[in-house]
């Protein structure tokens, strides 16, 4: 490039020069322009490295966020659960056909067999709905028995001095519950066993001992 010299102005050399890299000697008047050019040249060489570094940092941040995400999701998907107190609800074992059978044929419901007196006695109880149909269960002339096929035993109602049989034998009344106790000496009948109660013509099968 050819420089133009205007007449009537002092020579540039009298102002002084500065040597800048590959630009050679540059008059002081042009130093600002020279530094600007040098900055641009340096920026060209630095920019790619800066961009590459920025991309690397961005990729690293994304990777870390991706690694942390499953743990956060897993933690959020398994919140603490409050179980609360154990339920006291117990299903009615005679809610189906068996329940209807005892109500219609024998006039009773709420049949129950319980392990009592540390297992020495088995208590059978029921509630009367129809006194006429339920009379046989309170008939003291009939000897009841409790049969445990699993244990291979048949229990009877014991007779106690001055008391008689451990059973209620008064005439049944609607809405009242009655019971009888079978001797389980030796504790042959266990909780969870399924037993049959036979009282004359009455027969209740597959009752669970509680």
Residues 83-133: pLDDT tens digits? 555 544 444 555 568 789 999 999 999 999 999 999 999 999 999 999 999
pLDDT at 122: 98
Per-residue pLDDT at 162 exceeds 90: no
Give per-residue pLDDT as tens, 38-80.
Answer: 444 444 444 444 444 545 545 555 555 455 544 444 444 445 5
CB neighbour burial string for 68-96, b if at least 16 within 10 angstroms, e if fewer = eeeeeeeeeeeeeeeeeeeeeeeeeebee
Distance CA 19, CA 64 (A): 49
Distance CA 165, CA 188 (A): 21
CB neighbour burial string for 113-123, b if at least 16 within 10 angstroms, e if fewer = bebeeebebbb
- Report helix, strand or coil for 116: strand
Nearest alpha carbon to residue 139 among 165, 100, 119:
165
Q: Are 133 and 105 in contact (CB under 8 A)?
A: yes
């Amino acid at each position: 490039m050819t420089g133009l010299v205007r007449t009537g102005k002092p020579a540039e050399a009298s102002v002084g020069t500065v040597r800048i890299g590959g630009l050679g000697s540059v008059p002081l008047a042009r130093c600002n322009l020279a530094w600007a050019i040098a900055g641009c040249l340096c920026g060209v060489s630095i920019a790619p490295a800066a961009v590459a570094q920025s991309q690397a940092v961005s990729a690293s941040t994304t990777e870390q966020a991706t690694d942390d995400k499953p743990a956060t999701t897993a933690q959020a998907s398994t919140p603490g659960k409050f179980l609360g107190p154990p339920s006291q609800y117990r299903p009615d074992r005679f809610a189906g056909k068996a329940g209807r059978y005892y109500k219609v044929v024998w006039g009773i419901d709420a049949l129950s067999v319980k392990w009592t007196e540390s297992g020495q006695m088995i208590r059978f109880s029921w509630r009367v709905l129809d006194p006429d149909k339920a009379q046989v269960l309170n008939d003291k002339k009939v000897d009841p028995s409790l049969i445990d096929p699993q244990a291979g035993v048949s229990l009877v109602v014991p007779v106690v001095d001055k008391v008689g049989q451990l059973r209620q034998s008064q005439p049944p009344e609607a809405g009242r519950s009655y019971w009888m106790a079978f001797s389980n000496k030796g504790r042959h009948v266990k909780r969870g066993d399924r037993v049959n109660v036979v009282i004359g013509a009455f027969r209740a099968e597959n009752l669970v001992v509680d």
